[in-house]
């Protein structure tokens, strides 16, 4: 993406001229984002040397090109995870400005169905386990290791991944940090580690597991006492709608409004 953006910006500069102060920028001297990170990209796929020569001749039309943005609302509508994150919880309630959404990890559903384990018993255990598959003995280890929730990874893992991407992102990377419990020392160390890794932005939101648990408890109650519950939702793909129907067997899940409407009888 960074390479393609630079090529296009260079072509635009050839036609319309570079942005006003390009010739005072690092790129004018052949120094691109990854050079400032001390990273040497693989030249087997992209000819970075030739691109740098073109940029020094034509300039760039844009001072900034690439950003890794948050995608809270659009990810829900598309049935995807937020930004570049792994699922927060495999079954949970997500609230945005657009409304409240009941979400289920469709990939986990598919994996469990393939081995005959997407059963009422397993579903209730996942819900009771705060949307996690860890510790559920019936689920094979290779599935449990793949479908960890974001709270079950080390914070440093995602910071390292942000740093690896950062060398090719000229703006910044929008990343949330997820803590199991509020801990000022852990949060301080997280920010310091992100700084040492060279991140421009340490965190967007800091989310605490307890908040997610409260939302999940609402799902447990809705699942247990769902008589008279009415749910109207629009999700792309029948897998998600079918999974929600199985999780909330007494609910009505229809291809209707974008946000979920809940009313108790």
Task: Give the domain ranges of the chain.
Answer: 2-58, 68-265
Q: Specify the pLDDT at position 80.
A: 74
Q: Specify the pLDDT at position 166.
A: 94
Q: Strand pairing of 261-263 and 230-232?
A: antiparallel
Note the pLDDT tens digit of each residue in 17-50. Answer: 999 999 999 999 999 999 999 999 987 889 999 9
Integer Cα distance of 196 and 188 in angstroms: 12
Tell which residue, 179, 124, 183, has the closest CA to residue 153.
179
Integer Cα distance of 30 and 60 in angstroms: 11
Q: Specify the pLDDT at position 208.
A: 85
Among 48-62, 71-85, 121-135, 149-163, the minimum mean pLDDT is found in 71-85
Ordered DSSP codes for 76-109: HHHT--STTPPPS-SEEEEEETTEEEEEE-HHHH
Q: Specify the pLDDT at position 128.
A: 84
Question: Which residues are within 8 A (CB) of 161 and not within 5 positions of it... i.e. 6 or more apart?
Answer: 84
Report the helix count and the strand count for the chain, using DSSP H and E: 11, 6
Percent of the chain whose predicted confidence (pLDDT) is above 90: 49
Note the pLDDT tens digit of each residue in 184-238. Answer: 899 999 999 999 999 998 888 888 875 445 445 555 455 444 433 333 333 334 4
Integer Cα distance of 122 and 136 in angstroms: 8
Integer Cα distance of 101 and 90 in angstroms: 13
Q: Specify the pLDDT at position 47.
A: 94
Q: Any bridge partners for residue 207, and if so which?
A: 178
Mean pLDDT confidence for 143-171: 93
Residue 74 has pLDDT above 80, yes or no: no
Among 93-97, 150-154, 191-195, 232-236, the minimum mean pLDDT is found in 232-236
Mean pLDDT confidence for 74-82: 73
Q: Specify the pLDDT at position 245.
A: 56
**What is each CA distance from 134 to 109, 112, 113, 203, 209, in whole angstroms?**
15, 14, 17, 27, 15
Q: Specify the pLDDT at position 145.
A: 94
Integer Cα distance of 89 and 180 in angstroms: 12
Q: Specify the pLDDT at position 60.
A: 98
Looking at residue 150, the DSSP 8-state letter turns out to be G
Task: Let me know: does 114 contact 140? Beta carbons within 8 Å.
Answer: no
Residue 90 has pLDDT above 90, yes or no: no
Q: Specify the pLDDT at position 216.
A: 52
Q: Specify the pLDDT at position 228.
A: 34
């Amino acid at each position: 993406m960074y390479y393609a953006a630079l090529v296009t910006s260079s072509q635009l500069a050839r036609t319309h001229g570079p942005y006003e102060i390009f010739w005072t920028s690092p790129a004018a001297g052949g120094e691109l984002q990854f050079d400032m990170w001390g990273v040497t990209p693989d030249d087997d796929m992209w000819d970075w040397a030739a691109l740098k020569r073109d940029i020094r001749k034509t300039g760039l039309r844009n001072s900034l090109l690439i950003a890794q943005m948050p995608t809270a609302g659009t990810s829900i509508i598309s049935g995807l995870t937020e930004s570049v994150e792994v699922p927060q919880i495999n079954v949970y309630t997500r609230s945005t400005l657009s409304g409240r959404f009941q979400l289920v990890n469709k990939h986990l559903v598919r994996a469990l169905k393939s081995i005959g384990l997407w059963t009422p018993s397993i579903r209730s255990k996942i819900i009771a386990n705060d949307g996690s598959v860890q510790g559920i003995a019936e689920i094979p280890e290779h599935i449990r290791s793949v479908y960890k929730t974001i709270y079950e990874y080390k914070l440093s893992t995602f910071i390292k991944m942000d740093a690896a991407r950062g060398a090719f992102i000229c703006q910044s990377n929008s990343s949330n940090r997820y803590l199991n419990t509020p801990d000022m020392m852990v949060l301080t160390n997280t920010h310091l580690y992100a700084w040492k890794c060279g991140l421009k932005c340490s965190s967007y939101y800091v989310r605490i597991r307890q908040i997610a648990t409260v939302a999940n408890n609402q799902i447990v109650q809705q699942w247990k006492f769902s008589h008279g519950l009415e749910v109207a939702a629009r999700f792309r793909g029948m897998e998600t709608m079918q999974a929600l129907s199985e999780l909330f067997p007494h609910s009505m899940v229809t291809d209707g409004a974008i946000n979920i409407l809940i009313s108790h009888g």
